[in-house]
Amino acid sequence: MSHVADDSVLAIPEGWLLDRVGRDRLRRQLTAAESAVAAVVAERDELPPGSSHRVASERRALGPGSELRPGRDLTVDGAAMVRAGVGFDVGESFVALDRGPVLIDPGAVVHDPWRPVGPPRHASPLGRPPADRPVCVFLGLERDPHLADWVRALVNGLVVRDVEARIAVPAPTGGLHLTKPCAPTEASVRALAPDVLVALDDAAGELAGPWLGQRRFGLVRLTPDTTSEVTVQWRHLGPWRRRAEAAIGRGIDPAAMAALVHHIRPGSRRPGRRRH
């Protein structure tokens, strides 16, 4: 629960996520609504495969702001921007308002990051951000629960650092997910069109080039090491093309990984070789 400048209150189940874009939108909608309106609601929804909670929120907000609809229930599966003086109760997976009327804003969405992810499906092109943030796909073809959990933690750390990292492994692990994992398939990789692809195993490294075709991207290979060392080199693919290729160990932290993504993404290339 967090207070906003106009004394309205955001009521949201503990641990659930409503991006700043969504919060600001609900606040504006409540301010513009008639004074009798008790709250404006953002409902919880599933992320598209290969998306993040921030991208889902941004894409929802791109819709027209006038499409509010009346809510039929005072118990909300989501979050509510509640007008000052209106009572409410917050449960583990709901917000219950003392009175209405309530308006639902389809342009805002709430994410439950602890909900089981289920079997991965092909990524949706809607997983790409509308803003200019780099997309980094962690691709693995082998089933390795320890590696999958390491990827989950690193991806979460990248998302909060403005890198749109994505998980593409056969069996994602449970836990906190700021993104929706997707299947490790050519369809997923092509839909997300990553700026940087992290190959978690040899098979992923071999498929990265064929799956991405002529698209420019940086390639990162995960080594068996547990150190934080990073190496970067530039591979010539022809007289006019070259690609940044890096190697990392499992000791890399999210801040260093984010810096690497920005360094080797297309358009940010600087020649040479470096070590950290």
Q: Flag the least confident range among 4-18, 23-37, 151-165.
A: 4-18
Q: Pairing mode, if any, of strands 230-236 and 274-275?
A: antiparallel
Per-residue confidence (pLDDT) for residue 233, from 0 to 100: 87
pLDDT tens, residue by residue, 26-78: 999 999 999 999 999 999 999 999 999 999 999 988 876 668 999 999 999 99
| Largest interatomic CA distance in the chain | 69
Per-residue confidence (pLDDT) for residue 105, from 0 to 100: 94
CATH 3.40.50 location in the chain: 125-275
Q: Flag the least confident range among 50-59, 72-81, 186-195, 241-250.
A: 241-250
Answer yes or no: are the C-beta atoms of 103 and 71 closer than 8 Å: yes
Per-residue confidence (pLDDT) for residue 3, from 0 to 100: 37
Who has greater pLDDT, 141 or 214?
Answer: 141
Per-residue confidence (pLDDT) for residue 240, from 0 to 100: 59
- Rg of the chain over all Cα atoms, to the nearest angstrom: 21
Q: CA 114, 105, 161 angle in degrees (round to 5)?
A: 45
Closest CA to 212 of 127, 118, 117, 139: 139
Residue 267 has pLDDT above 80, yes or no: no
Give the pLDDT band of residue 234 (cuts 50, 70, 90).
confident
CA distance 206 to 211: 9
Per-residue confidence (pLDDT) for residue 215, from 0 to 100: 87
Share the mean pLDDT of the chain.
Answer: 91
In this prediction the pTM is: 0.89
- Fold of the CATH domain 125-275: Rossmann fold (3.40.50)
Per-residue confidence (pLDDT) for residue 156, from 0 to 100: 98
Closest CA to 199 of 249, 139, 243, 151: 139
Per-residue confidence (pLDDT) for residue 244, from 0 to 100: 87
